[in-house]
Amino acid sequence: MQDPYSERMSASETRAASGLALVFAFRMLGMFMVLPVLATYGMDLQGATPALIGLAIGAYGLTQAVLQIPFGMLSDRLGRLPVIYFGLLLFALGAGLAAMADSIWGVIAGRVLQGAGAISAAVMALLSDLTREQHRTKAMAMIGMSIGLSFALAMVVGPLLTQAFGLSGLFWITAALALLGGVIVATLPRAEQHLQHRESGLAKQALGATLRHPDLLRLDFSILALHAILMASFVALPLALVEDAALPKENHWWVYLAALGIGFLAMIPFIIYGEKKRQMRRVLLGAVGVLLLCELFFWLFGHGLWALVLGMVIFFTAFNLLEASLPSLISKVAPAGGKGTAMGVYSTSQFLGAGLGGVLGGWLYQVGGLDLVFVVCAALAALWLLVVRSMREPPYVSGLRLPLSEAARANPDLTEQLLAVPGVSDAVVLPDEGAAYVKVDMQKVDRAELDRLVA
């Protein structure tokens, strides 16, 4: 029998975490493989205009933003698996619809339907059901890594697959990946119970406080602006490589490979500095400033191949840094028991930004060409910099969920006793859920005393 306090993940936990990480990765591949190719190959579709290409790029984000939180709540009521299977089926049907389309409107409809499969919250809730408390952070980190790697892979593989099989073939591959994700889910261990877990799931009671929290709102705006800039830029950058750098669209993959690879390695020292030296606010401000300078560089100097490659390397260094650090900041800033809700609002903001960025980028290019896209992206980055300037340095704390014994549930003074433990900055006790949520400084907390109080 597996020791419930073992420091090693069990075989079933490892299988669940790796399987769900693959499901996430397949969905992200399907979402992002079209990003570097739709602006170039999509213009051959009937009725295509730059504005409609932008809508096709961002359409999935609009439906994801609308349905992300409702699907998470639905999984609490109907069960995780039915919602996940239904979402993956919608995603596959949307990809099939886009693959069979010969007009831009058919591709837009397919992307809208793809986005309707908004299963991220349900997958995270299932992960909580299938892993023990002490391994949940590790399991979530596996999913986070899979998302980052799938984005990088999509930017390189998308152009190669489109060159080999065309835009229609790319969408059919996307549909197959979604169905394969369903097969993987079917092979996962079955959860014994649906766990209420406010660190990974949405709690309606915490929604009001989340939407009133100034620093959480700043971070929500940050991810919205980041993905709006990304999507708008990738309406323009593939076209800039063709128009200004005379690089055939079949060869764009090596530019993205170089930019993402170097950018990933270059951001690692800044992540380490921000966490070790507790300077995440400075890292955030610096990365936003670099993103602003990149857009100005594209506008003023991005008229040759090597100038565009250099700009993209720096762009992806800042992008990767922000994509990795913003969820960490949400985790630090969210109140005890509020991380899952904060992440739900954050994810909704991310998808909304992607949708708006695609639509805006296509329309700007149609109205004023590449220069207008880069100028407006720079203006959005400048606004973002103003929004986060007044953000406080985040508390360097981690969230824990502590299961309560029967005696601890009946203790009316437990909240005060938890707050009195050195290193604890916030605590919420929920006897009905049988758990306490605490925010702790891992360098200072007396974990043995926490365990004694809840036991």
Decide: 198 and 337 in contact? Cβ < 8 Å. Answer: yes
Decide: 337 and 203 in contact? Cβ < 8 Å. Answer: yes
What CATH number labels 11-389? 1.20.1250.20
pLDDT at 87: 93
Using DSSP's 3-state secondary structure scheme, residue 43 falls into helix
C-alpha R_g of the chain: 22
pLDDT (tens, 9 = 90+) of the chain, 455 residues, equals 344 445 577 888 888 888 998 998 888 888 889 999 999 999 889 999 999 999 999 999 999 988 888 888 888 788 889 999 999 999 999 999 999 999 999 999 999 999 998 888 888 888 877 887 667 777 777 887 888 888 889 999 999 999 999 999 999 999 999 999 999 999 988 876 666 666 666 777 777 778 889 999 999 999 999 999 999 998 999 999 998 888 998 899 999 999 989 998 999 899 899 888 989 999 999 999 999 999 999 999 988 899 999 999 999 999 999 998 898 888 888 887 778 888 889 989 999 999 999 999 999 999 999 999 999 999 999 999 999 999 998 888 877 888 888 888 888 888 888 888 888 888 888 887 778 888 888 788 878 888 888 87
Neighbours of 436 (CB within 10 A): 25
Question: Which CA distances in Å does 47 have to 16, 44, 94, 103, 110?
Answer: 44, 9, 20, 6, 16
Listed by start position, the domains of the chain span 11-389, 398-454
CB neighbour list of residue 75: distance below 8 Å, 6 or more residues apart: 83, 84, 121, 122, 125, 126
pLDDT at 434: 79
Least Cα distance to 36 among 259, 235, 315, 257 occurs for 235
CB neighbour list of residue 117: distance below 8 Å, 6 or more residues apart: 27, 86, 87, 88, 89, 90, 91, 94, 178
Amino acid identity of 37? V
CA dihedral 188, 78, 342, 396 (to 10 degrees): -40
pLDDT at 210: 83
What DSSP designation does 46 have?
Answer: B
CATH (one of 3.30.2020.30, 1.10.3720.10, 3.90.700.10, 3.30.70.100) for 398-454: 3.30.70.100
pLDDT at 3: 46
Using DSSP's 3-state secondary structure scheme, residue 436 falls into strand
Amino acid identity of 191? A
Neighbours of 156 (CB within 10 A): 21
Angle, alpha carbons 290-32-179 (nearest 5°): 155
The residue whose two tokens read 């960025």 is 357
Helix, strand, coil abundance in the chain, percent, nearest 5? 75, 5, 20
Least Cα distance to 347 among 195, 227, 204, 182 occurs for 227
